A and B are shown apart, each in its own frame.
Chain A
Amino acid sequence: MIEIKDLHKSYRMGSNSLHVLKGLNLSIKEGELVAIMGSSGSGKSTFLNILGMLDEADSGQYVLDSVPIKDLNETKAAKYRNKFLGFIFQSFNLINYKTAIENVSLPLYYQKVNRKERQEKALQYLEKVGLKQWADHLPSELSGGQKQRVAIARALAAEPKVLLADELTGALDSKTSYEIMELIQEINDEGKTILVVTHEPDIANMCKRIVHLKDGVIVEDTFVEQVRASEYVQ
């Protein structure tokens, strides 16, 4: 599903240059649930943003679902993001003047899905994350966990190939974090490929594979026995 070869990225600040990713190689198959770990500043977000086509690598190859991702202009990148990728952010990034269902249907709007179908699909995904009865509430009326569930529903609504989650439990207490991870695992069980950036070992252990970043390179890449989040959730 994802093929990365010799990926480099550096940030230039004035005359200085910060080499953040120094030749990453990674292959992820369909249906995997991968945790990307590393200390703060190790380049996890940078890597995920490149995978999400929100940012560009300096060099290297990136193939997503057999489509080589290169020479993207912003319009093409937007279309790919819409078609291939679902984003889940640490700070949820819901649009605050839109209700839950409006937030969830937004990617479908950009897919030019008609209104009725959008409503149906959005409601269906809200139901999946257990928030059907909260459909007409504004984000400000929801708890942190509920907001993240809406964000997950939104990421799923466009039916992307890959979900990209950056510190998706970073703003949540541990109980809520486990509930969210339980949902992520359920979605993965249905076959969705998911990448989770985290620096928390317990969250990483709920994935099936852990990739360790350090000083801009992958220092460890192991398949692990998945800890089911449901064990922690009453």
Chain B
Amino acid sequence: MAKTVKIEVKEQNLLATLQKFFKTLLQNGDIDALLVPQHLPMKNSVMPTLVADPEKIDGVDPLAPVFPMNSAKVVSKLTRRPLDEKIAVVLRPCEIRAFIELVKLKQGETENVVLIGMDCYGAYGNVDYTRFAGDDGSDASLRFYENVVSGKGTAWEDIDISPACKACEHPVPEHADMVIGFVGVDTKDQLLLKAITASGENLLEKLGLPEGEETEDRKKAIENLVSERISYRDKMFDETSEATSDIKKLTAYLGNCVNCYNCRVACPVCYCKECVFVTDVFDHEPSQYLKWAKRKGIIKMPTDTIFYHMTRLAHMSTACIGCGQCSNACPNDIPVMEIFRTIASYTQKAFDYEAGRSLEDEPPLSVFREVEYNELTGGKD
């Protein structure tokens, strides 16, 4: 089904090309609005914006090496009830994968939404990005892009893309309706646009773009990028397992945690509307703390830190897509993503599941079979 065309790059300016492309997309009338990252006029930050007026698209910048939040949460807000209008959303691969998990948890719908995925070279943490971008965000995005393409890499001064991005083996979107590709593409004169589904194809047809092709060079470049990422990832798994292999080490690993719960607020797949850790259940009686202190001799305050992280691991690690927003949100630089991705790799493997892989695979804790895992009960069914 896949159909591939090319977007011609004018005057070697990728951003201007993308801006023009999205404007055309919005003008041709088939979609009512477009969700796309833009530089906000008053500040250099880049935020997802929902644009209905094609004239209001000048700050578009999906190349900016930053994503202040995982936009799957925004798409979920836009689709949790049926929409009459049709929208297109421009997302990173990890945002699409998070959205797939949310759809399966009935917190979003794919109907009436065209998912436009972009290749991704990674992103800086929010704080690092502000330093990197300086006063001219668009210029910074092109600078980042050129550094990567010219082989200089993603690092700049003492900062680099986040560990989550370095460990991400999905730099190219797999489940979009349409993909805008630049990895392994000669972007001096073109970008790749590939429709994967029927709804992507419909949209693509209206654009009247010249035919393109997915070259061997692109496939090679993707392969190389993925294998680099995988070796970083596996090393990270080993190191993190080692650093948290018993309760003592885990306590040290999470030692700076102040129970602010930013990590779960930022997590796109922490799906509960109300987290039990912020309910009355954890509003312990004052005397309870005293009881604990007396029984154990000493307790750390605030309490329930390890309990919180282990519970979150149990509740959502099978849905963790490794976006790194948890680490991005942590005020105390705790490597939250590292431990979640590491444990997720085990829990997902145990159920032969991969978060974000497909809409069809059932979330492991939402289903069961009558006959399975009977080794847990000594062979008794």
A and B: real partners?
Answer: no
By a beta-carbon cutoff of 8 Å, the part of chain B in contact with chain A is none
Interface residues of A (CB under 8 A from B): none
